Amino acid sequence: MTFFDVLTLIGGLSLFLFGMNLMGDALEKRAGQGLKNLLGKLTGSKTAGFLTGVGVTAVIQSSSATTVMVVGFVNSGLMALRQAIYVIMGANVGTTVTAWILSLSGIESSNFLVRLFKPTSFTPILALIGVALYMMGKSGKKKDTGLILLGFATLMFGMETMSGAVAGLKNMEGFRELLLIFTNPILGVIAGAVLTAIIQSSSASVGILQAVSSTGQITFGAAIPIIMGQNIGTCVTAMLSSIGTNRSARRAAVVHLAFNIIGTAVWLTIFELLRALVDIPLLSGNIDQLGIAIVHSVFNVLCTVLLLPMAFFLERLACRIIPDHTGNDSVPELDERLMATPSVAMERCHEVTMNMGLTAVRATRNAMRELRKHEDKRAESIREDEQTADRYEDELGTYLVKLSGCPLSDQDRVEAAELLHMIGDFERISDHAVNILEATEELRGKGMSFTPAAMEEMSKMFGAVDEILDLALTAFIHADLTAAREVEPLEQVVDTLKEQLRSRHILRLQEGKCSMEAGFVWADLLTDLERIADHCSNIAGCVVQMQKSRLDIHGYLDSVRTGSEEYRQRYNFYARKYALV
């Protein structure tokens, strides 16, 4: 092996790692909605959690990324530790898919149809299609598909380049002697663990082992301990990601490490006992790419078969290693670890924004009740909800800005922009709730009250605002376009009601039925209620635009108001429903 072969090996390794990273990121981005759906089906059952781990890892081609995701979920309180155990086990099986894909490079045959399945035959075509899609595709989905194909082609070219560069090693006596060291199972496990820990990807380290196996110098007996060690090395990523998390998240990382260490210890012991008691000629034979894929899959499946029924034991072991009295147990609602999978992080932002919306609407409804009857606890809860909404706005705003710098799909990018708009609207709604509360407190503090006729009129306004809040929240939570389209005609009715109530109150002032000071409070209440309706209109507009995957709220509102027959019908319906007597 010459100096130039070493340079070729370095270049091939670089292409291999870059292609794997590129393909994984593009797959993750392209399958964003699919990941959301998979993770949304998580339950406490073993089967659902296990299959979710297999599916997600097969999609994004990285058990490390899946495990980091799981640590983030547990840290955010989205997943229980027991659920995380099943997903982690599934991830270990899902990661074997990559080795089977890479094993295609070992196909050798003179048959034309068989040779078509060899990567060197079809990757140039995939690369050409990928370039065409990436350069000429107008939609983000086509560009992402192009990147997937380009990543796969780069990965396979890197694999072929590495295999070609190490081909000369098969004639080197020193290389054969070096490989004899790894027939020692402990050294083999250590070598596999260290290599995987350095590159932080078991799929990549297995691929490197497959490339080296093309020399024909690696035996089954040497490869098996190395593959076992690779499973331990991949735990480094999850352990690093658990730094600074709560107890449950650190326990999830410990479970991942314990699962692989126990599985390796048990099956390596059984393997060595069998080798000592029985002469197995296969172990002295050379292993190829396909053999490595088979060993990798069999080992991971055996580990799962061994430990899946013992999830409770792994949970207890993690709790013993990370006891309850150590560290913090706070649960952040937004965890930056989830940004490793942007589509999942976006789904989490949507859920937290939903909580913010529920908080703001609750505060507003309580504020309207305060005008009718005062309760100290209710008044206190309104202010607490407003402070919570402020906190949500700060945290979500910061998180969404950071998330916008990640590789998002077109749909997720539009949703991030829409959520940034919506959190401002929800925060302002909570501010207006406090304004309403302060207005009612001013009335009580000065011993003033509205006339029965005024309260009857205000009840109509409260009813309209309560319904528009419900429609806007329903539209956002359930992506309900029917509810969203109901908001704008009702908002126009609220505007009309505001003017009518203001005019009627001026008439009462002129007739001496109401004081000037009460009139100022009345005007403030109407302004706050009308602005709440405006913010509901903005939220509904964002929901409609998210469905269209574009951001043009003002254009949407203008098109609605210039109006269809349906809009006029809904406006007339709400005008009759909230008509003043």
473-496, pLDDT tens digit by residue?
A: 999 998 888 899 899 999 999 999
Phi, psi at residue 219, to the nearest 5°?
-95, 165
109 CB neighbour count, 10 Å cutoff? 11
Q: What is the pLDDT of residue 512?
A: 77
Helix (H) or strand (E) holding 231: helix 220-233
Q: What is the pLDDT of residue 79?
A: 77
Alpha carbon distance 223, 265 (integer Å): 16
Alpha carbon distance 230, 226 (integer Å): 6
Query: What would the pLDDT profile of 25-43 be if each residue is shown by its tens digit?
Result: 777 666 665 655 555 555 5
Residue 374 contacts residue 404 (beta carbons within 8 Å): no
Burial class (CB in 10 A: 0-12, 13-18, 19+), 276: exposed
Closest CA to 450 of 530, 503, 371: 371
Q: What is the pLDDT of residue 175?
A: 57
Percentages of the chain per state (helix, strand, coil), in multiples of 5:
85, 0, 15
Closest CA to 472 of 482, 459, 457, 463: 482
b (16+ CB within 10 A) / e for 205-221: bbbbbbbbbbbebbbbb
- Structure token pair of residue 496: 């009309």
Alpha carbon distance 176, 183 (integer Å): 11
This prediction's pTM: 0.72
Alpha carbon distance 108, 85 (integer Å): 40
Q: For the chain, list residues with pLDDT below 50.
A: none
